[in-house]
Amino acid sequence: MTTTETCYNNDIVQRFARLSGKERLAHAYLFVGPYDIGKGETAVAVAKLVNCEDPQANMFCDRCPSCIKIKSGNHPDIVLIDKGYSESIKIEDIRGILDQNRLRPYLARKKVFILRNIENLTPEAANAFLKTLEEPSPDSLLLLTTSVPEKNLDTIRSRCHAIYISSASSGQLTDLLCKEYDIDRNGAHFLAYFAEGCLGTARKLMARKFFEQKNELIDDFILRRPDDASVKSLLADKMRTREWLDVCLSWMRDVFVIKAGVADHRIIHADRQQDLAVFQKRFSFQELAALNQSVVKMRQMFMDNLNIKIPLLIIGEQLWEN
Residues near Zn ion, by CB under 5 A: 52, 54, 60-61, 64, 67
Q: Which is nearer to Zn ion, 4 or 174 (CB)?
A: 4
Q: For residues 225 and 235, what is the distance between their CA atoms, to the nearest angstrom?
A: 15
- Minimum CB separation of residue 57 from Zn ion in Å reads 6
Q: Which is nearer to Zn ion, 64 or 235 (CB)?
A: 64
Q: Which of 118, 313, 318, 321 is nearest to 235 (CA)?
A: 313
- Minimum CB separation of residue 169 from Zn ion in Å reads 30
Q: Which of 83, 89, 87 is nearest to 156 (CA)?
A: 89
- Minimum CB separation of residue 66 from Zn ion in Å reads 5
- Minimum CB separation of residue 271 from Zn ion in Å reads 39
- Minimum CB separation of residue 53 from Zn ion in Å reads 5
Q: Which is nearer to Zn ion, 67 or 79 (CB)?
A: 67
- Among the residues of 34-180, which ranges form H helices? 39-51, 65-71, 91-100, 123-134, 154-157, 170-180
Q: Which is nearer to Zn ion, 70 or 89 (CB)?
A: 70
Q: For residues 155 and 43, what is the distance between their CA atoms, to the nearest angstrom?
A: 21
Q: Are 83 and 116 spatial neighbours (Cβ–Cβ below 8 Å)?
A: yes
Q: For residues 39 and 30, what is the distance between their CA atoms, to the nearest angstrom?
A: 10
Element (H, E) at 6: helix 3-6
Q: What's the sign of the alpha-carbon dihedral 145, 148, 151, 157? A: positive
Q: Which is nearer to Zn ion, 67 or 270 (CB)?
A: 67
- Minimum CB separation of residue 40 from Zn ion in Å reads 19
- Minimum CB separation of residue 277 from Zn ion in Å reads 50
- Minimum CB separation of residue 61 from Zn ion in Å reads 4
Q: Are 128 and 94 spatial neighbours (Cβ–Cβ below 8 Å)?
A: yes
Q: Are 40 and 82 spatial neighbours (Cβ–Cβ below 8 Å)?
A: yes
Q: Are 113 and 101 spatial neighbours (Cβ–Cβ below 8 Å)?
A: yes
What DSSP assignment string belongs to 193-226? Answer: HHTTT-HHHHHHHHHTTHHHHHHHHHIIIIISPP
For 111, phi then psi, to 5°, come to -75, 140
Q: Which is nearer to Zn ion, 19 or 178 (CB)?
A: 19
Q: Which is nearer to Zn ion, 52 or 276 (CB)?
A: 52
Q: Which is nearer to Zn ion, 47 or 177 (CB)?
A: 47
Angle at Cα 250 formed by Cα 245 and Cα 255, nearest 5°? Answer: 120
